[in-house]
A and B are shown apart, each in its own frame.
Chain A
Amino acid sequence: MGALSIRNVKKSFGNTHILKGIDLEIEKGQFLILVGPSGCGKSTLLNMIAGLDDITSGEIAIGDRVVNKLSPKDRDIAMVFQSYALYPNMTVRKNIAFGLDIRKVPKPEQEEIIARVAKTLQIEHLLDRKPMQLSGGQRQRVAMGRALARNPTLFLFDEPLSNLDAKLRVEMRSEIKLLHQRLGTTIVYVTHDQIEAMTLGDRIAVMKDGEVRQFGSPQQIYDAPADLYVAGFIGSPSMNFIPVQLHEEDGHAVVELDNGRAVQKVRLSPISDSQRDFVGKQVVLGIRPEQLTDPESAHSERGNLQTLQATVAITEPTGPDTLVTVTFNGIKTVARCHPRAAGAPGQQVELTLDPTKALLFDPASEKRLA
């Protein structure tokens, strides 16, 4: 039995179905990310885990306790909110002590807990200030301190970094990760930011329209996305999707890419059974920008790299790499090249493609053809 089990959980308001049967399970100490665009139901799911929203049907268990009917305070959880939700009329110390007071923790023990939490988060010098006198990052720390003081079996984070500026967000992100590694608590974390999802999570649930599109480890989701949506959502710049016709040659999947001057044959991995059904039909070829690069940057140890010619449309230097936009089959395709090999608009460049990483999708069902 996992630390958190969500079994066929649904949420509806009349005929509007917010969540359409969610199944998730994580082990103790895991960091679960719920990621998706706004309106996908991820915050609703978190609120239901917290007990702030009712469950229409299904079951949520924390540890081995089904918590469907328990009020938030009896679920042994703590939550950090996007707006921090610090009590404005109380000092930092009182903010942390508020929950302890209610649970009738004796005063000396409260002092001990506050001191320990303040030390962990380095907010000792802020204890007697009011939230109004704190910066965004400090408020965020206090909000986490309030959650830590509770010492719950499950931490819930609702987009905790969205209100911070970019630099602070990166700092706090690694701090949350460090905290998780040190304390080993189970965390459920909601975000709309795929980078946060990738960097923090042990397990990621990519959600859309009230459904979990894919549930797996960050690398699984990155390398083997279940469908076009997940493939496009995770990764930045996002995956290129090129419509192609699928052929089979010597047991390999083969597609053709037209760069506007010539049609080039690309030999991919050995064809699988599910791919074989699509031979002669239109499919979508998915290539991540870093798998389409200049020959110099390509990993040469892989023997069967495919070479492609293309005309540069625009170049976008990011510093370490330059993003080169070319056209294949009429679709703008981004390649990640070494700045020296990026070429200039109008120039011909040579690109190499790692065929083992190229993915094929069914354009109708949008599922990946494994």
Chain B
Amino acid sequence: MADYQQSLQAKLIRFGIYAVLVLMALWYLAPLYVMLSTSFKTLDEIRAGNLLSLPGTFSLDAWSAAWSTACTGVECGGMKSYFANSLKMMIPAVLISTLVGAFNGYILSMWRFKGSDMFFMALLIGTFLPYQVVILPMAQVLGWLELENSTGRLVLVHVIYGLQFTTLFFRNYYVTVPGELVKAARIDGAGFFRIFFKILLPISVPTIMVCLIWQTTQIWNDYLFGVVFSSGEGQPMTVALNNLVNTSTGVKQYNVDMAAAIIAALPTLLVYMVGGKYFVRGLTAGAVKG
């Protein structure tokens, strides 16, 4: 009898916990739901005014408009070319900053030189610098470099701004790798680059995943650098989305705005779904393993 009572009590508590969790999840998912359902509605349906209702007819018009015909400012080519811009900017910027960060981390942990700790400290300070502080000096540098291409400019900016983070991730991982590994490889006859590419890089998969996710999110979602350092047709997705939403001719097309916003968010969402488990594993790899 007592057992039965206790298990009933336990079940009730469990039910309560799940109920709260489900409510919380719904609360957090509500905006996404509104965005999704709005994007499938027609403008008439939206004007009818029920934010939470399901779309009466699943219309993909808003999505195709957002992708290829919506107006961002004076041009009306949709988001597709800007989406491509963002990809063209993000992929090289993420790969370069990750690789160079790994290389920096390798040197700062395995090949310490006089002043390498100072160098690392300086990089660490870089992680605390807000975007806004970088803008003016960066504009100056880009001017000196006479780099005209928007994508090229943004790749450079993002690589430089991302390096302190990727270096930090890799350095903190490599200090947990025993230095004897490098010594053994040196005695085996491996050189500086072979040790890096054949031994250290292959064991850094979790850290590489952290860097890829971190940098992809940062670079794809960046608005400020995009709006400052690019112009016209070279602008990234985020800037285009802003232009699309703020274009003030005619009727406000909420369904198109929502579809465009979801399109803009998709890549980072995808990266988290695919690599999310590596993210936590990689962030804690150095801390737990030792």
Report Cα–Cα, A99/B198, bound state, in Å.
12
- A sample of 30 inter-chain contacts (CB < 8 A) reads A47-B183, A52-B183, A52-B187, A72-B183, A72-B189, A73-B187, A73-B189, A79-B183, A79-B184, A79-B187, A81-B180, A81-B183, A83-B178, A83-B181, A85-B178, A85-B183, A85-B184, A86-B184, A87-B185, A87-B198, A89-B202, A89-B203, A98-B185, A98-B190, A99-B189, A102-B188, A102-B189, A102-B190, A103-B189, A158-B180
B186 contact set on A, CB distance < 8 A = 51-52, 71-73
Most central of A51, A77, A98, A103 by chain B CB within 10 Å: A98
Question: A50 to B188, Cβ gap below 8 A?
Answer: no
B184 contact set on A, CB distance < 8 A = 79, 81, 85-87, 146
B183 contact set on A, CB distance < 8 A = 47, 50, 52, 72, 79, 81, 85
Interface status of B19 (Cβ within 8 A of chain A)? no
Question: B189 to A88, Cβ gap below 8 A?
Answer: no
B202 contact set on A, CB distance < 8 A = 89
Interface status of A308 (Cβ within 8 A of chain B)? no
Closest to B181 in A: A85
Question: B188 to A99, Cβ gap below 8 A?
Answer: yes
Interface status of A282 (Cβ within 8 A of chain B)? no
The bracket for how many chain A residues form the interface is 20 to 34
Question: A77 to B187, Cβ gap below 8 A?
Answer: yes
Report Cα–Cα, A51/B203, bound state, in Å.
26
Closest to B201 in A: A89
Q: Which of A127-148 contact B (CB under 8 A)?
A: 146
**5 tightest Cβ-Cβ pairs between the two chains A and B:** A99-B188, A73-B189, A85-B184, A85-B180, A89-B202
Interface status of B199 (Cβ within 8 A of chain A)? yes
B181, B187, B194: the one contacting A72 at CB < 8 Å is B187
A158 contact set on B, CB distance < 8 A = 180
**Given A89-B202, A89-B203, CB of A98 within 8 Å of CB of B180:** no
B172-197 interface bits toward A, Cβ cutoff 8 Å, 1 = contact, 0 = none: 00000010110111111110001000
How many chain B residues have a CB neighbour from A under 8 Å?
A: 16
Q: How far is the CB of B92 from chain A (nearest CB, A)?
A: 26
B181 contact set on A, CB distance < 8 A = 83, 85, 87
Question: A89 to B187, Cβ gap below 8 A?
Answer: no
Q: Which of B36-69 contact A (CB under 8 A)?
A: none
Question: A89 to B180, Cβ gap below 8 A?
Answer: no
Closest to A79 in B: B187
A83-98 interface bits toward B, Cβ cutoff 8 Å, 1 = contact, 0 = none: 1011111000000001
Question: B188 to A98, Cβ gap below 8 A?
Answer: yes
Report Cα–Cα, A77/B188, bound state, in Å.
9
Given contacts A52-B183, A72-B183, A72-B186, 16 further A-B contacts (CB under 8 A): A52-B186, A73-B186, A73-B188, A79-B184, A79-B187, A81-B180, A82-B180, A83-B180, A83-B181, A85-B178, A85-B183, A87-B198, A88-B203, A99-B189, A102-B194, A146-B184
Question: A87 to B180, Cβ gap below 8 A?
Answer: no
Residues of B within 8 A of A (CB): 178, 180-181, 183-190, 194, 198-199, 202-203
Report Cα–Cα, A304/B187, bound state, in Å.
56
B203 contact set on A, CB distance < 8 A = 88-89
A255 contact set on B, CB distance < 8 A = none
Report Cα–Cα, A83/B178, bound state, in Å.
8
Interface status of A351 (Cβ within 8 A of chain B)? no
B189 contact set on A, CB distance < 8 A = 72-73, 99, 102-103
Q: Which of A47-93 contact B (CB under 8 A)?
A: 47, 50-52, 71-73, 77-79, 81-83, 85-89
A82, A89, A103: the one contacting B199 at CB < 8 Å is A89
A78 contact set on B, CB distance < 8 A = 187
Report Cα–Cα, A150/B184, bound state, in Å.
12
Report Cα–Cα, A14/B199, bound state, in Å.
33
Report Cα–Cα, A47/B179, bound state, in Å.
13
Q: How far is the CB of A251 from chain B (nearest CB, A)?
A: 57
B198 contact set on A, CB distance < 8 A = 87, 98
Report Cα–Cα, A47/B190, bound state, in Å.
17
Q: How far is the CB of A234 from chain B (nearest CB, A)?
A: 28
B185 contact set on A, CB distance < 8 A = 87, 98
A146 contact set on B, CB distance < 8 A = 184, 188
B194 contact set on A, CB distance < 8 A = 102
A83 contact set on B, CB distance < 8 A = 178, 180-181
Q: How far is the CB of A86 from chain B (nearest CB, A)?
A: 8
Question: A87 to B199, Cβ gap below 8 A?
Answer: yes
B199 contact set on A, CB distance < 8 A = 87, 89
A88 contact set on B, CB distance < 8 A = 203
Report Cα–Cα, A248/B183, bound state, in Å.
58
Closest to A47 in B: B183
Most central of A52, A78, A150 by chain B CB within 10 Å: A52
A102 contact set on B, CB distance < 8 A = 188-190, 194
Q: How far is the CB of B20 from chain A (nearest CB, A)?
A: 41
Q: How far is the CB of A346 from chain B (nearest CB, A)?
A: 50
Q: How far is the CB of B138 from chain A (nearest CB, A)?
A: 38
A51 contact set on B, CB distance < 8 A = 186-187
Q: How far is the CB of A238 from chain B (nearest CB, A)?
A: 31
Q: How far is the CB of B236 from chain A (nearest CB, A)?
A: 36
Q: How far is the CB of B200 from chain A (nearest CB, A)?
A: 9
A77 contact set on B, CB distance < 8 A = 187
Closest to A97 in B: B188
Report Cα–Cα, A87/B198, bound state, in Å.
9
Report Cα–Cα, A99/B180, bound state, in Å.
15
Q: How far is the CB of B188 from chain A (nearest CB, A)?
A: 4
